[in-house]
Amino acid sequence: MAHATDDQSGQPRSGYTLPVFACAAAIAALRYLHQKTNALRSVTVILIEPAETAEIPIEQVAELPGGAALAITRSDPGDNLDLTRNTPVWAVVAKGDDDQTEPIRLQGGEGIGRRLTVGGKAAIYAYAERLLRENLSQGLRPGETIQVTIILPEGRGLAQRTSNAAFGVVDGLSLLGVTGIAQPLSAPGQLDIFRAELRQKAAVYDTLVFCVGENGLDLAVQLGIEPDRRIKTANWLGPMLVEAALQEVRAIILFGYHGKLIKLAGGIFHTHHYLADGRQEILAAHCASLGLPTSEIQTILANKTVEASLKHLQYLDQTTGRNWVEGVYGAIALRIDQRAQAYIQTHSERQVAVGSALFDRDRQIIVTSDMANTLLPQVWYAR
C-alpha cells in the first residue's frame, strides 16, 4: 500500500479514494465465496486511474446466511482532513438471481447515498462502478453471476457533516471520484505545492483566478478564462491570498461554489468544515441587513444547507416580485472582496484587487462582484 504508508520523503501522504476500499471488500467477499477461507489479509486492486495496483488490507471476512459473504476494510485517505478516515467499508457478495443476465449487479446498501436527480439511484458514480466491474469480472467463474451490495455503516451519520444534500445526494455518502489515489489537498504539506505553482504563474501573469475545487476549475474554462491563469487552492484561501501578494500579483478573482466562498464573508479564510462553518449564519445576517422578514430569516437559519437557502430566496423572488437573491448575494460578494483585500493587507502589507464570482450546485453563476466584472475581461482568452 505504497501511497498510504510511504511518508519517508516528508511530503504529504496520499491514500486511496473510497471506491478503492469498496472494491477491495467486494473482491475479498467474492474470493471467500470461492475459497471459503478466513485467512485473507489483503487483496490487490487494479486502480485503472492511474494504471497501477494497490494492496488493500482486509479486516474481516465471514459467511452470511443464504450463501453470501461479507468482507470489511477501512478507509485510509492519507494525510487528508477527510471525515471518512478509518470508517468501515463493507461489501456483501451473493449469487445472482436465476433470471439475472448481467454478470455483476451493483447495489447501494445502508450508508450509500441516494441521488435525487436520477430517481433515488445509489450514489455509485462512474469511476467506482468501472472499478468494481473490471476488478470483480476477473474473479468470476464462467457463467457466474453475482450481486454486490456496498454498505457504509457510518455513512448516514457522516453525510450529515457534508454538503452532499446540496448536490442532491441524501441518506449517505457517495462513491465518488475519477481516480483511485486520494491526493492530500487538505494536508499542510500540500500548501507548499500550491504555493510553488502560484509562484510559477505569478512570474508570468499579474492577474490570477483562484478556484476552490474541481468544479471551479472546469467552469472557469467553460466561461472562457485562460487555463494557465487558474490556481487550485483547495481550502487554503488565506495563505494563498497572502502568497499571491508577496509574489506581487496585482489582482485575483475568487471563483467557487457559494457554499465555500460565503465563509470568507464571515472572515473565515480556511474553508474546510472541520475548522469552521457559520455559512447559514453569514447568509442570514446579510438577509437581515437587507430587510428580509424575520420569519424568512428563521427559515434560512433552519435550513441544513446554503443551497436550500438559496432555493428559498429564489422562491421568494418568484412569489413576491422582489430580487432577494441579487441583493443578498451581491452584498455577500462585496463583503468577500472587502474581507479578502483586508486580509491580504493585514498579513502582507500589500494591496491586491480582489473580485469574486459565486456559482450554485448546478454550476450556474449566482453573482459576480463589481470588481470581478472589471477583472474578468483581463483573464479571458484572446478574442
- For 162-196, b where at least 16 C-beta lie within 10 A, e where not — what string? bbbbbbbbebbbbbbbebbbbbbbbbeebbebbbe
- The enclosing H or E element of 53 equals strand 53-57
Looking at per-residue pLDDT, the higher value among 52 and 83 belongs to: 52
Share above pLDDT 90 across residues of the chain, in percent, rounded to a whole number? 66
User: Among all chains, which residue has been given the C-alpha cell 470461492?
Assistant: 34
- What does the pLDDT read at residue 177? 78
- At residue 1 the predicted structure's pLDDT band, cuts being 50, 70 and 90, is very low
Q: Specify the CATH class of 2-182 in words.
A: alpha beta
pTM comes to 0.60
Is 90 exceeded by the pLDDT of residue 181?
no
Q: What is the pLDDT of residue 235?
A: 80
Identity of the amino acid at 203: A
Contacts of residue 61, defined as CB under 8 A and 6 or more positions apart, other chains included, come to: 28, 29, 32, 38, 40, 69, 70, 71, 72
Query: What pLDDT score does 383 carry?
Result: 47
| pLDDT at residue 186 is higher than 60 | no
- Express each pLDDT in 197-246 by its tens digit: 999 999 999 999 999 877 788 888 888 999 999 998 878 888 899 999 99
Amino acid at 261: L
More confidently predicted of 80 and 73? 73
Q: How far apart are CA 194 and CA 200, in angstroms?
A: 10
Query: In this predicted model, which residue has the larger pLDDT, 248 or 383?
Result: 248
Instruction: Give 286-300 as a DSSP string.
Output: HHHHTT--HHHHHHH
Question: Residue 32 above 80 pLDDT?
Answer: yes
Average pLDDT over residues 6-28: 81
pLDDT value of residue 272: 66
Spatial contact of 17 and 174, defined as CB atoms under 8 Å apart: no
| The pLDDT of residue 328 is above 60 | yes
Where exactly are the structural domains of the chain? 2-182, 188-378
